[in-house]
Structure formats: C-alpha cells, structure tokens
C-alpha cells in the first residue's frame, strides 16, 4: 500500500500565485483532512472531508479551497498565495469507524516569497 501520497514535496511560489497541493490515499478511508504545521504552533486543521462530495472548514480555512470528488483524492487549493501561507502542509486520512488511527502523508513544504 502507498498509504497517503502528497505532491509536490517542495514548492516555492511568488505572492499572488495560485497552486494546488495534491493528496491521494489508497486505503478507502472515508475521512480526509488538511493541516498546516508552523513552528511553535503545532498542527492546525485547515479543511476536512467526511466523504466524497462533503467538505467543511477547520480552524484556519481562509485563503484555501478544497473539494472531494472521489474517495481517494482531496486537493488543497491556494487561491492567491501570501507569505503567511509559508508552512508545511500535511494531508491525513482515516476510517470513519471508531478505534482506527489517522495516517499522514510526508508533507509539502511551501515557501511564498
């Protein structure tokens, strides 16, 4: 199993540019989520999805869009990149049933200049 795959691993953007961070999982998990990790602040939830066609906002959703057209994929779109969005982004997935752990991708390190 590939688990949770994120692409790209590294990206540099100029302020105002847009881009999509890709996330795919091959475990047939219902739940998928996006987090950002900043020094001293831990991981914070951006958006999440409980199934195909269903998404909702997390703690820090401003400046980001998501969609979930399939169970496997959950892309995160930056609409107009800002330096404050410089961070490491992690995608996670898990089963809906209780007692199952969350699986994380290897992360995308994004720098906005």
Partner 1 sequence: KQEVTQIPAALSVPEGENLVLNCSFTDSAIYNLQWFRQDPGKGLTSLLLIQSSQREQTSGRLNASLDKSSGRSTLYIAASQPGDSATYLCAVSTGGNEKLTFGTGTRLTIIP
- What does the binding site for partner 1 look like in residue numbers (CB under 8 A)? 4, 31-33, 35, 40-45, 48-50, 58, 90, 92, 94-96, 98-107
Nearer to partner 1, 15 or 96 (CB): 96
CB of 14 to partner 1, least distance (A): 24
Nearer to partner 1, 13 or 105 (CB): 105
Match 């900043």 to its residue by tokens: 38
- The DSSP output letter for 35 is E
d(CA 89, CA 34): 7
1-16 exposure pattern, b = at least 16 Cβ within 10 A, e = fewer: eeebebeeeebebeee
CB of 80 to partner 1, least distance (A): 26
d(CA 78, CA 74): 13
CB of 41 to partner 1, least distance (A): 7
d(CA 113, CA 99): 42
Nearer to partner 1, 15 or 102 (CB): 102
Nearer to partner 1, 17 or 58 (CB): 58
């Amino acid at each position: 199993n590939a688990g949770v795959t994120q692409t790209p691993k590294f990206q540099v953007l100029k302020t105002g540019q847009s881009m999509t961070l890709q996330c795919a999982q091959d475990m047939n998990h219902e739940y998928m989520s996006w987090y950002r990790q900043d020094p001293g602040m831990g991981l914070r939830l951006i958006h999440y999805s409980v199934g195909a066609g269903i998404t909702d906002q997390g703690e820090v959703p401003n400046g980001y869009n998501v969609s979930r057209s399939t169970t496997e994929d959950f892309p995160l779109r930056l609409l107009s990149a800002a330096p404050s969005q410089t961070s490491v982004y992690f995608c996670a997935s898990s089963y809906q049933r209780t007692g199952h752990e969350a699986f994380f991708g290897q992360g995308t390190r994004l720098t906005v200049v």
